[in-house]
Structure 1
Amino acid sequence: MRAVTVFLLIAFGFSWLVAWQIQASGGLGAQGPLASLAMLSLMMMGPAIAAIVCTLVFDRGRRLAALGLRGFSAWTVARWTAIAWLIPVLVCGLAVAATLVLSGQPMGDPVALIASQLAASDQDVPMDPGTLLAIQLAVGLPVGIAVNTVFLLVSEELGWRGWLQPRLTALGFWPMCLVVGVLWGLWHAPIVLMGYNYPGLGWTGVAVMTLFTTLWTPYHALARERGGLLAAAGMHGALNAVAGVSLLFLSAPQWPWNGPLGVGGLVVLAAGLPLIAVGRSGMKKRAA
């Protein structure tokens, strides 16, 4: 518990200090796009810094293994990373479908949306919006997933799944997921209160964000358990890239009907948890 306490103090302390600086400088977006991205990226380094400090202090002689960077074959890591990339695509697609059914809103027209955004920005793009959307889906999305995976490997996931998850495995898989999921969600509290993901919801947004991270955690935890840190980072990277793109297919992506982040996404994630339970049980039987 001493090691976990040190980890949490550093992870939350560093990240929330950066969040305080964001708030003090005008809130999210007030610094301009690049500066805002840099500040959010710096905030995401809190769990990684905590993991590195705790590994140096508490995991002498097994530091790489303690972070999930050793103990898995290259084939296992590659296979589970590929699976981890695909799961958010499936979940976000199902979340959009569930949102359309539950809300009754018509499906969005991503081509028309891109056209309106280009018109509003007064940019001269030498291609039609349909081609631009195709390029975004075929090229931009995979590149975004890859870039996010690499960054999350050395930031958030190094802490939450890399270092913290193995420390809590004695609780059992599901209690561990509950603890990590709640901590992961509460860690987002300062920026959620500034409007991140759930603008205008305040503490209700923090509660929804915590429910969202708690429901996602078993998926990430399974990837970490079976494929190491890279697989967990791959799932998080794909989620961050795909969730935003999926909103293009909704005509009114506001809470509670904002696709993966809304009721539709929460329902789909909850429905998948029994599959994880059955899958883990089958894996244990095959291993035995």
Structure 2
Amino acid sequence: MHLIIIILCVRGMKEKLLNTRMVYILFLNSRVLLLLNIFIALFFISCSDNEAIDDNSYIEVRLSDYLKYGENHSDAIRLCLNDCILYETKVIHFDIREICIDEAILLDSNTTVVLEDCIIKQNNGVFDNVFRGNNLVLEDDNPFGIPLHIDSISNIRIIGRGECKIIGPDVNAKIYHPVRNVEEDAIGDYYGWRTLQISFSLASDIEISGISFEQIRCWAISFDKCSNVSVHDLSIFSDCKNGDGINIRSGCHHCEIYNITGDTSDDTIACSALGRNVKRTYPDGNYIYPMDLL
């Protein structure tokens, strides 16, 4: 009896229940869709924000990926550095066994170069640094002279992992010496700061480690008015005029140097107050170009 009454009630209310259920489903679906749309919108906003942060904060690349785009190793390095220029922090892996360069590798602030079992060799006739800070504003008509301006840079590391070397050219550039009236190999301090293998000026938080230097043409590494410098675990070999290893000069401070080995023809480590205290016109005696940038 109770079952029959329930069935009759259900049948009698079927149409009303269906209508009510449809309204409820529509209402529920609209709320679900609204919440879903809000969730999707928030998701894309979050993704967009993260991408913006990532796009401007950090990049890590491998030099080997750029070889196919450049005509030579220096081209590939230039393209790689240009790709990284908009990022705040840059890590570049030099993952090629032997790299032959025609010009200096210019490093901006917040750049780490990791040499992975890598030999960097200067091509014959190259008259330039191997690495230097990208902070010198040079005069077009006098690119080997005193810079027009030097900006401050910071947080640069050149780290060697495995067997890593920096080697000068087999055949040095020859330059006419107007005072001595002879064309000769452009080595030694008479030929200025381009003879340095690594050169940093007005830089802070610099680290260089894990590299062997060979066939250097003057000083292996030079710092002018730099601070918070760490140079360690290097081997330096030289047999040229003014074949210094590491020069800390011109007001540098808070520098640490340790685990340096090798055989140099001049000072292995030199700390001095050398700098430009008077304006000089070059050639100045036997000095064709300046060694002192600051």
Q: Which has the higher helix share?
A: 1
Q: Which has the higher strand share?
A: 2
TM-score, length-normalised on structure 1? Answer: 0.23
TM-score, length-normalised on structure 2? Answer: 0.23
The structure having more radius of gyration, on CA atoms, is: 2
Which has the bigger relative contact order, CA under 8 A and spacing at least 6? 1
